[in-house]
Amino acid sequence: MTMAELRWHPLIKDWVMIASNRQNRPQMPKDWCPFCPGSGKVPDHYDVLKYDNDFPVLSQNAPVPDGIPTDFYKTAESYGKCEVILYSPEHTSSLHQFSLEHIVKIIDLWTERFVELRKDKKIKYIFIFENRGEMVGVTMPHPHGQIYGYPFIPKKLQLELESCKEHYDADGRCLICDMAKDESASGDRVIFENRDFIVFLPFFTEYPYGVYIVSKNHKQNLTQFDGQEKLSLAKALKETTGMFDSLFGFPFPYMMCMHQDPVNSGDFSDYYHFHIEFFPPMRAQNKQKFNASSETGAWAHANPTKPEEKAEELRAAHRRFLSGTAGTNEGK
């Protein structure tokens, strides 16, 4: 019997999503892909596509939570929306292999879905993300990302919002604007930039290769970007993911997480700021960066590398990607 509900975690004041149906997801099937044309699950012809998740953790037709034996624990319906964003009909392609025009189509679809999902007043946060590689739990290799529409603001995002609000109340400025300006002034951890976005390895990064893509303009979500900004974002995404694959000459695993302002929850425009965070689980070519007891049990992160040195590695990989020499070891 499957179960789908939210359960309140009183120690950390956050919701845990219970979704036993996800145990039934296929695990990297070798001879069939539901996202490829001809599967019967998607159109025979498409460029980019929104596909409703077959194993959602949240649903707009959420069941009534199961009864609980005491009054101590709280539950809520697992209301929300889970979507898959198919980047391409090509089964073996990757984000950096697409043309800029095609990546803009992906950004436009993200934007369309953001607009549509925020019409549902029960949805409070729209989280756009991509998991890449078996190392981070990918179950389908076809190039895709996902969108979750949560009925609450997740704890990490809530903490970010509170930190940004505190900084704004104290100094009258945006925390993420100030962070990007300081990184730019230092330059030690900046990987590259274009007209509208800066890409850097933060001073405080928990992950050896955990780069941020930050808008140079103080904007909160995708709907506020004009055509030139979307093209600049496409360039930043193409070059960042291409840089990753150029680091060690193999498809680089990562989690890509887009942070935008909440929806149906108030006005955050003064102090919150659009950015994308990457969490790659590698610390060297043949070494994985694990979230062990300190990171998981205490939220006390340890980065086993020096960010300034890793930034130089990333700059060299970025140069290799741009020059088409990704198979070489220049700068290593």
Whole-Å CA distances, 33 to 52, 82, 135, 177, 252: 15, 19, 19, 42, 22
C-beta of residue 183 within 8 angstroms of C-beta of residue 190: yes
pTM of the model: 0.94
Q: Residue 331 pLDDT > 60, yes or no?
A: no
> Residue 275 — φ and ψ, nearest 5°?
-160, 165
User: What was the pLDDT predicted at 24?
Assistant: 65
CATH class of 4-21+31-323: alpha beta
Find the DSSP H helices in 21-144: 100-117
Q: In the chain, what percentage of residues exceed pLDDT 90?
A: 85
| Mean local confidence (pLDDT), 121-143 | 93
User: What was the pLDDT predicted at 70?
Assistant: 77
| Mean local confidence (pLDDT), 284-306 | 94
Return the axis-axis angle of helices 175-186 and 155-171, rounded to nearest 10°: 80
Place of tokens 């903490």: 159
Q: Residue 25 pLDDT > 70, yes or no?
A: no
Q: What torsion do the CA atoms of 242, 245, 249, 251 make, to the nearest 10 degrees?
A: -140
How does residue 327 score in pLDDT terms, banded at 50, 70 and 90? low
- The single residue of 96, 142, 144, 167 carrying the catalytic annotation is 144
108-118 pLDDT per residue, tens: 999 999 999 99
- At residue 295, the 3 state secondary structure works out as helix
Q: Is 96 a catalytic residue?
A: no
Distance CA 157, CA 277 (A): 12
Every domain of the chain and the residues it spans: 4-21+31-323
For the four alpha carbons of 193, 197, 198 and 199, in that order, the dihedral sign comes to negative
